[in-house]
Chain A
């Protein structure tokens, strides 16, 4: 009697002696699944020796047992069961039926299944290969974490797994070399393999069953030891897990296995929308697979049949026992959520990836639900398991914590800290962990309030704002009463350290920034996260820099250098700016005109046109057949390929200055905007010449400066007629007053980036003269004019110091005429002319108390309130160094009388940012803005409320 060792044999080794420690896990809610009732008001699970010893509101664990309390917000559910995994997958057997391939051999107990454990998957079904065979082999069920191999293998053999789906139906022929090869048939030939159709699959299974029963005539066709192994497995009545995607495939399987009376689990079912009742009648368990959203596939054929999204609900309604699987183990929760389409309830969906999944693969006696006696495999979530936005806090297998999001976050943080202090490292810190602020009042800054509200911050920016936001893995959740955007100080001197230097436009203000400055941090902790900085000593016209007092690296500190231009009114600053602006506009116009004219200039082109005409005239005399050929050629010419980037090396032996066979090589690198740079090597000049230029369609213009004067290349891009892949440049060179024409084929499409050519000469005019190129250059505005012009497109702001009513009027009038919306600074009388300036100014900043007391103290008039009421944005400026730290209290006080905290909040945040044209960066809790957020212990801008914690660029400012 032949013994078979293709059947998985019992574990060879003694199970590891390592015993898990006892542990009690607590959370607010426990979903036991598998029919157990949900514990909603706090519960605990005692895991003893890797198994669940007790579960309930309280557990009789002995004192001193390790406790893991995840808090009332946490939810415990069983570890997820992936009924199909891609772990250890290599290839399928060459054979159509290979019941002797054991998936358990694919199990790698030394691999780390980090991603699965992070998704909450604790048990997986291993498929031998891809499973795309009529019989791919025997599956196995393993745990994805644990101490030793044997205790982790739940089932060495979980029965046969195969498919009648289309993927399994087109196998290459099977070939095995004959050794030694005989003279008559050589090394043998390929045998075609079944099945090609569903019918073929049914026949093949019938034949295999006959083979198993001893019909040796199939030995040749299906190979050894298929029959022997199958016989043994049939004797054990192992379950067949067969994949079927369409109604036809399902029907064929139900029919076949019904007549053969063999146990069956059907997997897949994506397109089998009408099979529910048939399956219910047959009583087979089903593993329903949710497909990966495949956009490309939809793209290919919009009308193609799509999987039925309501299938799970239909199966449930028909009473078919089913489990749910995703296309990947990490997609289980998505799959379960997807299966709920059509009305399936959440508990059944969760069961589908836990208890029902365990049943479908035959391990319900070990895992899949939280019951006394089962393995202590569970997942702790920070919300309902199938809710979007919920993430896994911890995954526990046999009582051991195998994934802990807090530990991961801690590890990342320690790395960050290390990198921040490591000498010689860049000071740029790693991004902070994603953080969720969950508060009862979320003040967005622009007047809107979400109650309750949450924001998600990540990588320094606000990712999501809403009543409930996602909680990505590793996210830190912070709860509190209220949150508001960080405050914007529209003008301050923070960081000037008491000195009042005059700063002109040539000074780069980012040079005075000091990352990690203690004073800066104190101001940030008081809630001021953006300061529009200038020096108190500045007079006349000067610019400011918007920066953040707290981040640890300079790049993150700068919101915008040259954010605003500050000028006086009345004065000649604005008229002179307007003059310059007009002049600049004029220059630009001139430039445009010059450029347009310059394009038509090349004389040669006209000449060649004439030549062409002459040639054409000559052609008219030619015979018809010749003409036809020419016409053909012309057609071909018309088909000339589109102009292409000319990056590459062009080289040829050409005639230069009358001398033949002179080497000329041009290397060009084309930028995205058609700008060219490169080098020129020519035989009649000793040095390598750096080139700059442009390409417009086919025309390439390059110029460079040499010690012997400028050199200009005007070239036309062309393609070889017989091989349009080959590009060449044809044109002329102007050098030392001589013009040479030549054709340069492209010898290589690469530009060797060894050293970039040095930038061109500073003096544009001189360069122009030297190079001999008269190409016009784009005029550039000076820095202050640039800011001034930036007020029109939202990249700058104009702050005008003006106080008197009549001055305000005249200023606004002048600005409106020139399409400029200034910010009025120190405009204490602005409220008096509110009606006149509404819509014509970006905002008003007062530097005195906003409240003026009138009528001998009988009336308090809040100027800010008046302006806001009139629809004019207002903002606060500290005009101080660390005094900025008092800005929130100052605004609170201002809001107390004759105004509202909401109005003051707007003035501190959104309106301030908007008037500086920084509204898309700071000042608002808006998706995409910097994550500068204040957490408050009460409603904002009331005296009793304190700023509790502050985040700048998504990173909490440490006290």
Chain B
């Protein structure tokens, strides 16, 4: 069977290449996207709008009639489409080679070392309009590695990076093989160890046991440099007096990331798989003074702990299962709770999370939420501005306005409609996705093999034969 005429395969190679490769950087980087509707997430949607981008930033958004497009801008005119800021995934464990560490407490690990830029996950993100992802380690942990905020474009980890070390993952849900009590003890012990370490350092300095200084001098290192300057400890929950005596470089690098947390310089994504876990998460954050930087990543049913969450004033990433179902033990009647509504009613900022990287991605979750009773604005905010604020990129992603990252998604229609599709995606001002050229969709819908995978048919046939021949031989041997 001849699937691929020979003259076509060369053409395919070029087309598919266009999708993956970003458009070559132009010397002159001004671009304008004209769209039938521009949903800015910063005020009312604009009909016949224009998004002006200069390099990687948006410089202006407005009505086509009111905004002058510079003469040197490249214009993408899509009068039938709807432009949106790219969706923001507030918490994801995908895109890494494995999501969980086997050790309990590893804040000194970095998810950078685990990111896989060619993971299909990132490709899916573009296909469904997600342009910012906060990749954190898995939930089966006590204190996990530092996460990173990435964009789903690029072939190296550096190219993906939006913000490295964007926060630390902790878990109040017992790691496999632990009870809640031992999980809690392990969490407490991590902070206790940090404190012991800092106090020991200070004690050493106070007693003149300044061995590291002598060592550095002997080795000829720059001990008096900028990094080596001590700084007073600025924890909110607790401080160790005299930490300024100790140069920061002397803090054990295994402890340093946790010190960042205690001093309020790093976000914490605290996983609570069950409502009973919320108490421990909030207590730990409060005692160690990082409640302000904490985002709770919730499992199903955690709306039951709403009182504590409201009291703690922490934002939450909701369970991907939007509706929580409980069964009455006697009547076996099912009660369904749409959790987002509970959090909305109590004024808790929340973000939606994708249930998978494909069909149940953020757009689907937002659309489903509208079906369950959120307004369009609330649902869209829960996948754009709310998660952006949560991960500390408010005004930069999840919104179309001057100064924001030039991440624009063009939908074929209403972004919350099942009939709409992501047609074009711009990240940092570059078009990185065009549905009409998506090689995998072509393979799926038109039977065209992606470039680079088409093989010489004659060779393929030969190969098949040889395989069959071998099989029949094997059979003979069996006899």
Contacts and interface: CB of A to CB of B under 8 A. Distances in A.
A and B held together in a complex: yes
A177 B181 contact: no
Contacts of B192: 4-6, 224-225
A110 B287 contact: no
A224 B192 CA distance: 9
A414 B331 contact: yes
Given A5-B192, A9-B283, A104-B181, 14 more contacts: A2-B196, A4-B192, A16-B307, A88-B179, A93-B182, A100-B185, A101-B185, A108-B180, A110-B305, A137-B181, A225-B196, A414-B331, A415-B331, A415-B332
A91 B308 contact: no
A114 interface: yes
A83 B36 CA distance: 70
Contacts of A12: 282-283, 286
A149 interface: yes
Interface stretch (B3-11, B221-229, B273-281, B439-447): B273-281
B442 to A, nearest CB: 41
Nearest to B328: A411
A90 B179 CA distance: 4
A6 B185 contact: yes
B103 A177 contact: yes
Contact of B180 (A9, A106, A148): A106
Nearest to B254: A179
Interface in A96-139: 98, 100-112, 114, 128-129, 137
Given A5-B287, A107-B276, A100 B188 contact: yes
Given A9-B287, A12-B283, A224-B196, A90 B180 contact: yes
B307 A148 contact: yes
B276 A111 contact: yes
A91 B179 contact: yes
Leading 3 A-B pairs by shortest Cβ distance: A90-B179, A411-B330, A105-B184
A89 B311 CA distance: 28
Given A12-B286, A110-B274, A412-B330, A149 B181 contact: no
Contact of B181 (A3, A4, A101, A179): A101
Given A12-B286, A148-B307, A224-B196, A105 B181 contact: yes
B331 A102 contact: no
A98 B275 contact: no
Contacts of A107: 276
B276 A110 contact: yes
B180 A13 contact: no
B87 to A, nearest CB: 32
Given A2-B195, A110-B305, A414-B331, A225 B189 contact: yes
A891 B16 CA distance: 97
A957 to B, nearest CB: 25
B250 interface: no
Contacts of A109: 276, 279
A373 to B, nearest CB: 28
Contacts of A5: 188, 191-192, 287
Nearest to B195: A2
A110 B304 contact: yes
B296 to A, nearest CB: 15
25 contacts: A2-B195, A2-B199, A9-B287, A13-B308, A13-B311, A88-B181, A90-B178, A90-B181, A91-B178, A98-B182, A98-B185, A100-B188, A102-B184, A104-B181, A105-B180, A105-B183, A108-B276, A110-B276, A110-B301, A128-B179, A148-B307, A149-B279, A225-B192, A414-B331, A415-B332
Contacts of B332: 415
Contacts of B311: 13-14
Nearest to B106: A179
Interface string A402-438: 0000001001101100000000000000000000000
Interface string B89-119: 0000000000000010000100000000000
A114 B329 contact: yes
Contacts of B199: 2
A52 B330 CA distance: 30
Nearest to B191: A5
Contacts of A110: 274-276, 301, 304-305
A934 to B, nearest CB: 31
Contacts of B177: 91
Contacts of A98: 182, 185
Contacts of B283: 9, 12
Interface residues of A, number: 45
A128 B193 CA distance: 22
Interface string B186-209: 001101110110010000000000
Interface string A10-49: 0011101000000000000000000000000000000000
B185 A102 contact: yes
Contacts of A104: 181
Of residues A90, A111, A137, which shows the largest number of chain B Cβ atoms within 10 Å of its Cβ? A90
B342 to A, nearest CB: 14
Interface in A165-208: 177, 179
A111 B308 CA distance: 16
A98 B286 CA distance: 24
Nearest to A111: B276
Q: Which of A98, A100, A105, A412 has the most CB of B within 10 A?
A: A105
Contact of B179 (A14, A16, A106): A106
B314 to A, nearest CB: 13
B179 A89 contact: yes
A108 B181 CA distance: 11
A435 to B, nearest CB: 18
Nearest to A90: B179
Contacts of B182: 90-93, 98, 101, 128-129
A102 B184 CA distance: 8
B174 interface: yes
A102 B182 CA distance: 8
B120 interface: no
Nearest to B179: A90
B181 A129 contact: yes
Interface string B277-310: 0011011001100000000000001001101100
Contacts of B305: 110
B262 to A, nearest CB: 12
A6 B184 CA distance: 9
Contacts of A225: 189, 192, 196
A91 B179 CA distance: 5
A128 B181 contact: yes
Nearest to A411: B330
A103 B181 contact: yes
Residue from B276, B280, B286 whose CB has the most chain A CB atoms within 10 Å: B276
A92 B191 CA distance: 21
Nearest to A4: B192
Contacts of A92: 182
Contact of B238 (A3, A105, A414): A3
Contacts of B282: 12
A102 to B, nearest CB: 6
Nearest to B199: A2
A129 B179 contact: yes
A415 B330 CA distance: 8
Nearest to B187: A105
Nearest to B185: A101
A5 B238 CA distance: 11
Interface in B312-342: 328-332
B304 A105 contact: no
A412 B192 CA distance: 52
B274 A108 contact: yes
Interface in A677-730: none
Contacts of A137: 181, 185
B196 A106 contact: no
B185 A93 contact: yes
B187 to A, nearest CB: 9
A137 B178 CA distance: 14
Contacts of B287: 5, 9
A91 B177 CA distance: 7
A98 B307 CA distance: 32
Nearest to B102: A177
